[in-house]
């Protein structure tokens, strides 16, 4: 996009009202755009699809979910469940879409990814305060910065090379890279249901939302051996051999220790073998990808095996001998900024304070985290455009703890993206009994966030 284009972007809709631009139509970008519009700030949402696709994207719709269809736990006493609760209270478009397109997934909130994207896309397209510009890739932020326009960069971890380089120039620091991997998806009618059984962990057989592939000790050992010996996709020049701990490929976990998978994505805890009720050595869980239940995701099985390697090794799993893969696992590049060094407490670029960063490129990890942080960036971008004071959620809240992490990073370690977790929250008072601390932390989080809502002024979605 050239300087003239940036200038035009600052005057959409006519009149004297301030304008804003959001770059990127993923979860964070759509949340930011919807928030700006709800605050009365006309906004241009720019998305490079369908003219340009990243290595991981395939659908022309907005808010495409590329890794998993799960937004993780919906339990109100989990950190991510609490973040969902806060996002709903703030009027989150993403949470609205997720709640309306959810599919059975036990205690998790999983969605039909096609219906989810369609819901968000329709909401954005029908919003009179949003001008949606498709097929135009932004490769340089300099024109926006020089124009003084309010901008939210929500280009995602797969931002184009030009935009990533532009961000690096503005931030004065190089971007970091790490692997992120997609889990395979198999068709339901290709599963051997004489072996696969339905159950949630600790639930009753046949009543759960997950399908389970049981492995005995010999099957597990043979699987791990084949996994380690299978061909892997070689790293490309721009990728570094560094993995985000929350999204390790299964073969990397197996390399650390042969038992790692049995304590990770293949843990059998809470499951019984229905063929005799015996103890399982391991289990692979499958989660529905859509409401019709025609496709299932191999939970936690992100991988960088080659396609022939995946076909050979994953069909060793009991129940998957005849599996038809609707999508194979893949590896792609993730880019993010060293947030504590280059962003202020409101997630603005230090050298360009009218440029906000939102979503994974800012240093958060996960769908819910990206959406919630994008919503907050949209709120503060609107306040900047309107000349109002900016806001920061209290650190005792889920969103506030995540924002504080972006500002401070992990103590004594290099910065890397993080999911929301209770380790980011301020600790409960030491005087409180240990058995009461979890409840006190939740109560404190909810009370502090309610006070923050009063400060924000509640915005409900129509």
Pick the more confident residue, 364 or 14. Answer: 364
The answer on pLDDT for 239 being more than 70 is: no
On the question of pLDDT at 187 being above 50, the answer is yes
Name the nearest CA neighbour of 284 among 351, 379, 196, 152: 196
Residue 180 pLDDT exceeds 70: no
C-alpha span between 157 and 164 (Å, rounded): 9
Helix (H) or strand (E) holding 153: strand 150-153
User: Residue 1 — pLDDT band, cuts 50, 70, 90?
Assistant: very low
- Percent of the chain exceeding pLDDT 70 equals 86
CATH code of the domain made up of 181-333: 2.40.30.260
Tens-place pLDDT, residues 305-315: 998 999 999 99
- pLDDT at site 53: 57
422-431 contacts at long range (C-beta below 8 A, 24 or more positions apart) = 422/79, 424/79, 425/79, 425/395, 425/396, 425/398, 425/401, 426/395, 426/396, 426/401
Of the two residues 86 and 459, the one the predictor is more confident about is 86
* Neighbour tally for 75: CB within 10 Å: 14
Q: How confident is the model at residue 55 (pLDDT cuts 50, 70, 90)?
A: low
Out of 34-38, 57-61, 453-457, least confident range: 57-61
Q: What mean pLDDT do residues 268-275 have?
A: 83
- The residue that leads in pLDDT, 431 or 361, is 361
432 against 56, higher pLDDT: 432
pTM: 0.72
| Chain segment 367-385, per-residue pLDDT in tens | 999 999 999 999 999 999 9
On the question of pLDDT at 176 being above 80, the answer is no
How far is CA 80 from each of CA 48, 188, 224, 398, 413, rounded to the nearest angstrom?
30, 29, 31, 8, 23
Hey, where are the domains in the chain? 3-175+337-456, 181-333
What is the phi-psi region of residue 363: left when phi exceeds 0, alpha when psi lies from -120 to 50, beta otherwise?
A: left
Supply the mean pLDDT for the chain. 85
Torsion-angle region of 71 (φ positive above 0: left; ψ -120 to 50: alpha; else: beta): alpha
Q: Roughly what angle, to the nearest 10 degrees, separates helices 113-126 and 93-100?
A: 140
DSSP lists the bridge partners of residue 134 as 47
Count CA within 13 A, CB hemisphere, residue 16. Answer: 0
Homologous superfamily (CATH) of 3-175+337-456 is: FAD/NAD(P)-binding domain (3.50.50.60)
Which is more confident, 286 or 239? 286
CA atoms within 13 A on the CB side of 149: 28
Residue 236 scores a pLDDT above 70: no
CA separation, residue 426 to residues 314, 404, 423, 437, 445 (Å): 42, 10, 8, 11, 10
Residue 284 has what pLDDT? Answer: 96
Q: What is the mean pLDDT of residues 427-434?
A: 78
Q: Confirm if 19 and 44 have CB atoms less than 8 A apart.
A: yes
Q: What is the model's pLDDT at position 208?
A: 76
Distance of CA 319 to the CA centre of its chain: 29
Confidence of residue 237 (pLDDT cuts 50, 70, 90): very low
Q: Cα–Cα distance between 140 and 164 in angstroms, integer?
A: 9
- In degrees and rounded to multiples of 5, residue 320 shows phi and psi of -115, 15
Mean pLDDT of the 41-67 span: 80
Q: Can you tell me the distance from the alpha carbon of 301 to that of 283, in angstroms, rounded to the nearest whole number? A: 12
Per-residue pLDDT, 443? 94
- Reported as a pLDDT band with limits 50, 70 and 90, residue 240 is very low
Q: Which tens digits make up the pLDDT trace of 328-340?
A: 887 666 778 889 9
Q: Say how far apart CA 128 and CA 123 lie, in whole Å.
A: 10
Strand partners, 44: 21, 131
Can you say whether the dihedral through the CA atoms of 15, 21, 26, 27 is positive or negative? negative
**pLDDT bucket at 5, cuts 50 / 70 / 90:** very low
Q: Kind of pairing, strands 352-357 and 348-349?
A: antiparallel
Q: What angle do CA 274, 279, 285 make, to 5 degrees?
A: 65
Calculate the dihedral angle through the C-alpha atoms of 209, 215, 217, 221, rounding to the nearest 10 degrees: -110
Which pLDDT score, from 0 to 100, does residue 201 have? Answer: 79
Residue, of 203 and 455, whose pLDDT is higher:
455
pLDDT at 242: 54
């Amino acid at each position: 996009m050239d300087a003239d284009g940036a200038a035009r972007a600052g005057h959409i809709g006519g009149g004297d009202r301030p304008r804003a631009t959001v770059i990127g139509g993923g979860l964070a970008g759509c949340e930011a755009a919807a928030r700006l519009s709800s605050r009365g700030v006309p906004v241009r949402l720019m998305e490079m699809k369908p003219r340009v696709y990243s290595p991981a994207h395939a659908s022309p719709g907005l808010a495409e979910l590329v890794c998993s269809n799960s937004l993780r736990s919906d339990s109100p006493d989990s950190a991510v469940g609490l973040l969902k609760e806060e996002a709903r209270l703030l009027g989150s478009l993403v949470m609205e879409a997720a709640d309306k397109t959810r599919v059975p997934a036990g205690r998790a909130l999983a969605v039909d990814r096609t219906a989810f994207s369609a819901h968000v896309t329709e909401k954005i397209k029908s919003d009179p305060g949003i001008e949606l510009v498709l097929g135009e890739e932004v490769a340089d932020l300099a024109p926006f910065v020089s124009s003084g326009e309010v901008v939210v960069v929500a280009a995602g971890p797969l931002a184009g090379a030009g935009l990533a380089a532009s961000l690096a120039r503005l931030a004065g620091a190089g971007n970091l890279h790490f692997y992120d991997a997609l889990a395979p998806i198999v068709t339901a009618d290709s599963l051997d249901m004489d072996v696969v059984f339905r159950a949630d962990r600790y639930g009753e057989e046949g009543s759960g939302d997950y399908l389970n592939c049981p492995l005995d000790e010999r099957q597990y050992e043979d699987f791990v051996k084949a996994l380690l010996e299978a061909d892997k996709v070689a790293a490309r020049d721009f990728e570094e051999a560094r993995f985000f701990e929350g999204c390790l490929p299964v073969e990397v976990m197996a390399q650390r220790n042969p038992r790692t998978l049995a304590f990770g994505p293949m843990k059998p805890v809470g499951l019984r073998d229905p063929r005799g009720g015996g103890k399982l050595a391991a289990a692979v869980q499958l989660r529905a990808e859509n409401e019709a239940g025609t496709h299932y995701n191999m939970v936690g099985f992100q991988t960088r095996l080659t396609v022939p390697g995946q076909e050979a090794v994953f069909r060793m799993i009991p129940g998957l001998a005849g599996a038809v893969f609707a999508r194979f696992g893949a590896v792609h590049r993730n880019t993010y900024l060293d947030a504590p060094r280059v962003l202020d407490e409101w997630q603005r670029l230090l050298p360009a304070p009218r440029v906000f960063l939102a979503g994974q490129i800012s240093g958060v990890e996960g769908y819910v985290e990206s959406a919630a942080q994008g919503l907050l960036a949209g709120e503060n971008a609107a306040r900047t455009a309107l000349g109002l004071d900016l806001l920061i959620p209290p650190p005792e809240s889920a969103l506030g703890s995540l924002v504080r992490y972006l500002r401070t990073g992990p103590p004594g370690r290099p910065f890397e993206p993080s999911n929301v977790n209770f380790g980011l929250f301020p600790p409960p008072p030491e005087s409180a009994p240990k058995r009461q601390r979890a409840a006190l932390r939740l109560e404190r989080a909810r009370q502090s966030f309610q006070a923050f809502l009063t400060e924000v002024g509640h915005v409900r979605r129509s």
